[in-house]
Amino acid sequence: MTLNVEIKRYNPEKDDAPHWESYEVPADPLDSALALLLHVKWHIDGTLSLRKSCAHGVCGSDAMQINGENKLACSVLVQDLVDNDGATVKFAPLPAAPVIKDLVIDQSRFFEKYREVKPWLINDNPAPEKERKQSPAEHEIIEEATKCIMCGACTHACPSTWASPDYLGPAAMLKAYRYTFDTRDDGEGERLDTVDSENGLWKCYTIFNCNEACPKDIDITRWLSALKRRSAVTA
Amino acid sequence: MASRAASTSNAQSWFLHRITGTFLIFMLITHFWVQHYDQQTATISHDVLSTEQIENDVLPGYTPEAEAAVEARFGETAEVTPYDVVMLRLADPVYAVLWKAFNILFLIVALHHGFYGLNNVMSDYIRNPMARKTAKVLSWSLALVLLVVGMYSVLVAGW
C-alpha cells in the first residue's frame, strides 16, 4: 500500500512557524509508524529530524503525536493506524513542549520536573552487605510504575500540562509514587512536600489522558490517586 | 508514613472537595425532591398557620401572572411548589431547625465545592502570580459574601 504521510515540519533557522508537508510512502500494514518516518528521512528528505534509538519500545525516544494521539512511533503498526491504500498518517511533535526541529522537542523542562521529585533511593541507613531486600509482595506495589520508560507521552497528553507548563505532570509524579511506595525508601517526607504543591498532585483532575497515552499501559491515574491519598493522610 | 509540614499542603482542600462532592450528590437529590417535586411529603406542619390564615393569604403565593406563565410553558397540569409551603416548612418551630440546618450545610458544601473548583480553573488559566493571588482572594471573598447572605436568608425565612 502507499500512504500519504504528513509531517509537521519546523526549522527555526528558516521557518517563521511550523507547517505541514506531505510525502508518498510505500508501506506494509505490519510496518511500524517509525518505518514510515525513516523511509521519508532515508529516501525522500534527509533534512527531516526525529529522535529514535532502540526502535523496540524500550528507550522511549520516539514519542510523538501520531494521528492526533501521543504514541511511540516504533510501537504502533501501520495497520492499527489506517486500513486503506492512500490513507493519511499525520506526525507532529509532542504538544506543549518547545520544538527544536521538526519532531524533536526540547525535553529539558520535562527532565527538570523529573529531577524535582528526587527519583532515586533515599535511605541514610548503612547499606547491608549484599543488598536492601524487598519481598515480592512489597515489589508488587510498585511493579507497574517501574515500567515507565520516561518517553513523555503522558505528560504531554495532559491538559493540566497544556494549561500550566510548570505542572509536574504524570511522568514525574509516577516516579514520585514509585519511590515513595518503595519499602526500601525513606524519602517520603521530602518527596511528598514536592508533589503536594501548587504545581503538583492537585492539578491532576483524573482526566485519564495519561493512561490513554502510555505505551506501556501503566494505570498512571490509579497510582497518582494512591499518592494523593498518601499526601492527604500525612499532611 | 512520615508526617509533614501542613502549612504548605493543599491536601486538606482536595480531600474536602471529594467529601463535599459526595455530600452534594445526596443533598442535591434531597433538595430537588423536597423543594421542587414532592411538596406534600415535605410539608412538615400544617399547624403553624391556621387554615383561615392560609386561605386569607397571610403568606404570599405566586402572582396570577406567574402562575399563568408557568402554565403557558409547562401545561395546565404543571405544579409549582407554592411559596407558602416552603415558608411553612421554615416556620415550623421544630422541623424548621432540621431544614435550616440542612440548608446551611448544603450552602457551605456547595460553596466550598464550587469555589475550590473555580480556583482550580483560574489557576490553570491565570499565568501572572499576582493576578492569580488577586483572583483567589476575590473569589473566596465572594464565597464569604454569598455564605453570609445565604445563611441570613435561611435563618430569617419563616421565623
A24 bridge partner residues: A4
Helices A169-180 and A220-234 sit at what angle, rounded to 10 degrees?
60
The string of pLDDT tens digits covering residues B70-79 is: 777 777 776 6
pLDDT of B43 strictly over 60: no
B1 and A196 in contact by Cβ < 8 A?
Answer: no
pLDDT of B32 strictly over 90: no
Cell 445565604, residue located: B150
A66 bridge partner residues: A69, A91
Q: What are phi and psi of B141, to 5 degrees?
A: -65, -45
Position B42, amino acid: A
Residues B122-150 as b or e (16 or more Cβ within 10 Å = b): bbbeeeeeeebeebbeebeeebeeebeeb
The pLDDT assigned to B41 comes to 45
Task: Give ipTM to 2 decimals.
Answer: 0.74
User: Do residues A27 and A140 both lie within one domain?
Assistant: no
Return the CATH number at A19: 3.10.20.30
User: Do residues A154 and A207 both lie within one domain?
Assistant: yes
User: Do residues A178 and A75 both lie within one domain?
Assistant: no
Domain spans in chain B, listed from the N-terminal domain onward: 21-156
Q: For residues B43-66, give the mean pLDDT.
A: 60
Q: Which of residues 162-181 of A touch B (CB under 8 A)?
A: 163-164
**Residue B158 and residue B90 in contact, taking contact as beta carbons nearer than 8 Å:** yes
Return the CATH number at A193: 1.10.1060.10
Q: What residue numbers bound the domain in which A91 lies?
A: 2-105
DSSP code of residue A179? H
User: Do residues A160 and A203 both lie within one domain?
Assistant: yes
Q: Which of residues 188-217 of A touch B (CB under 8 A)?
A: 188-189, 192-193, 196-198, 201-203, 205
- Considering A105, A123, A138, which residue would you say is the last residue of a domain? A105
Q: How many domains does chain A have?
A: 2
Q: How many degrees, rounded to 5, is the angle at CA A218 between CA A215 and CA A221? A: 120
User: Do residues A7 and A87 both lie within one domain?
Assistant: yes
Q: For residues B21-47, give the mean pLDDT.
A: 73
**Residue A57 to residue A68: CA distance in whole angstroms:** 19
pLDDT digit string (tens) for chain A, length 235 residues: 999 999 999 999 999 999 999 999 999 999 999 999 999 999 999 999 999 999 999 999 999 999 999 999 999 999 999 999 999 999 999 999 999 999 999 999 999 999 999 999 999 999 999 999 999 999 999 999 999 999 999 999 999 999 888 899 999 999 999 999 999 999 999 999 999 988 899 999 999 999 999 999 999 999 999 999 999 998 8
User: Do residues A96 and A131 both lie within one domain?
Assistant: no
The pLDDT assigned to A45 comes to 97
Q: What are phi and psi of B61, to 5 degrees?
A: -100, -165
B14 and A189 in contact by Cβ < 8 A?
Answer: no
- Considering A50, A78, A105, which residue would you say is the last residue of a domain? A105
**Residue A223 and residue A145 in contact, taking contact as beta carbons nearer than 8 Å:** yes
- Considering A63, A86, A105, which residue would you say is the last residue of a domain? A105
Grid cell locating A169: 505532570
In the structure, what pLDDT confidence band is assigned to residue B9 with cuts at 50, 70 and 90?
confident
**Residue A116 to residue A185: CA distance in whole angstroms:** 16
The string of pLDDT tens digits covering residues A23-75 is: 999 999 999 999 999 999 999 999 999 999 999 999 999 999 999 999 999 99
Intra-chain end-to-end CA distance of chain B, in Å: 51
